[in-house]
Amino acid sequence: MPFLDQLRATPNLLTLLRLFILPFLVIEILDSNWRGAFALFALAGLTDLLDGLLARWLRQKTTLGQYLDPIADKLLLSTLFIVLTQAGLIPRYVTVLVFSRDLGILLISTLLFATGALRDFRPSQLGKLNTLVQIVGVVSVLLSKLWPAAWMSMFTGGLLRVIAVLAPVSAAQYAWIILGRIDSNEPTV
């Protein structure tokens, strides 16, 4: 399918909308407009849900979408971790651990892909759990600004500690899986 046709596919337009929302979401957070920030984050989440569903329903799975969707997801979460850390709502150590994991995985994947050693980088169940907990953590941080309550603060703090543990553990598991695939001389995909 030609690039422009892929770009115009409804799921990819939704992914591009998610990327378009991101700077406005950052502005809302930096301006402490928590209602606006939460609404934009919810809208971004809705576009993420719909792009996958529509890709299947409309049979519009594209090569561009396979790359663009995870990039948009990672960019959204990574940017929010940085901005929420800057706003003093997420401890720096949590963001450093999250970024270290993502950067390590990105570097390993790029090297393996470029050398042809491995081309299959499916996320593990622990990696998917890590992402889910990060999303819930960001939602919790935003909600705690909308509805400040002691229990919400404790819940958010607990989630952030879980993220700090899951990030390096899931990175180690990813490395272990990749080493096992390379060791077994699995054919490249």
- Tens-binned pLDDT, residue by residue, of the chain (189 aa): 777 777 778 889 999 999 999 999 999 999 999 999 999 999 999 999 998 888 888 887 888 888 888 889 989 999 999 999 999 999 999 999 999 998 888 888 788 777 776 656 677 889 889 999 999 999 999 999 999 899 999 999 999 999 999 999 999 998 888 777 777 765 544
Determine contact, residues 71/59, Cβ cutoff 8 Å. no
- Distant-in-sequence, close-in-space partners of 142: CB < 8 Å, separation ≥ 6: 34, 37, 38, 41
Beta carbons of 163 and 134 less than 8 angstroms apart: yes
The residue written with tokens 């409804």 in the block is 10
Distance CA 20, CA 29 (A): 16
CA distance 189 to 187: 6
How far is residue 64's CA from residue 106's CA, in Å, rounded to a whole number? 18
> Which pTM value belongs to this model?
0.86
Cα–Cα distance measured from residue 34 to residue 143, given in angstroms and rounded to the nearest whole number: 8
Scanning the chain, the segments in alpha helix (DSSP H) are: 3-8, 10-30, 34-57, 63-86, 92-115, 125-146, 150-183
Tokens of 79: 């940017």
131-136: long-range pairs with CB below 8 Å, 24+: 131/73, 131/77, 133/159, 133/162, 133/163, 133/166, 134/77, 134/81, 134/98, 134/163, 135/45, 135/77
Beta-carbon count within 10 A of 26 CB: 17
Identify whether the C-beta of residue 100 lies closer than 8 Å to the C-beta of residue 43.
no
Give the separation between CA 160 and CA 127, rounded to whole angstroms: 16
Tell me, what's the pLDDT at 146? 94
pLDDT at 70: 85
